[in-house]
Amino acid sequence: MKVRIDESRCQGHALCNSSTPDIFRLRDEDGHAEVSDGTLAPALEEKARRAALGCPEQAILIEEDQAPTPRTR
C-alpha cells in the first residue's frame, strides 16, 4: 500500500498528524501534511485507512497493492 497527500485539497487541519504521527508529518512552512516516500509497512496500513476516512478534505489518497496477475501459458 502507498499513501500520498493531494496538496490541492489539504488544508492543514492536522487531524492526520494528531491521530497518526508515525505516518503524517506537518510541513514547517505551511502546516500541511506530508508523508515520506509513501510506502507503508503492513502494520501501518489500517491506521492510514482510518486517517484517510477522517480527513475532512479527502486529501489522503490510498493506493492499495495490486494482487499479482496469475500467469497463463
Q: Which residues bind ligand SF4 (CB under 6 A)?
A: 5, 10-16, 24, 32-33, 55, 57, 59-60
What is the nearest approach in angstroms of ligand SF4 to the Cβ of residue 68?
30
What is the nearest approach in angstroms of ligand SF4 to the Cβ of residue 9?
7
Compare residues 31 and 71 and give the one whose CB is closer to ligand SF4: 31
**Three-class secondary structure of residue 55 per DSSP:** coil
Compare residues 53 and 72 and give the one whose CB is closer to ligand SF4: 53
Instruction: Note whether 54 and 16 are within 8 A (CB).
Output: yes
Compare residues 6 and 41 and give the one whose CB is closer to ligand SF4: 6
Instruction: Note whether 17 and 33 are within 8 A (CB).
Output: yes
Q: State the CB neighbour count (10 A cutoff) for residue 21.
A: 11
Q: State the CB neighbour count (10 A cutoff) for residue 51.
A: 22
